Amino acid sequence: MRVLVVEDQERILSFVEKGLKAQGFVVDTTRDGDEGYSLATTEPYDALVFTQWSLGSHLCVIRSLTTLPCTSVRRKSRPA
């Protein structure tokens, strides 16, 4: 399975990439939303991963890729 990860923070990007690769995924990464859009529209991906920060600014990317399923996952707040 081929996955594209778009994340602006290098530390988080590296963590997610390593975790996915350890599970056997083929992973492409970028820190730039425009490059993410370019990759997503020119390469065959089984899944796209956008961070919550970039999700708002790049929701149009996800919506424009009508051939891919779009699921929004939000982390629950931890009890104080």
The domain spans of the chain are 2-62
Q: Pick from 1, 54, 55, 8: which is nearest to 29 by CA?
A: 8
Q: What is the pLDDT of residues 7-58, one digit of tens each?
A: 888 998 999 999 999 999 999 999 887 888 888 888 889 888 877 555 555 5
Tokens of 17: 């990439």
pLDDT for 18: 96
CA distance linking residue 79 with residue 29, whole number of Å = 32
Coil/strand/helix, residue 6: strand
* Superfamily of domain covering 2-62: Response regulator (3.40.50.2300)
Per-residue model confidence (pLDDT) at position 37: 81
Cα distances (angstroms) measured from residue 65 to each of 1, 9, 14, 44, 58: 18, 24, 25, 11, 11
pTM confidence score? 0.71
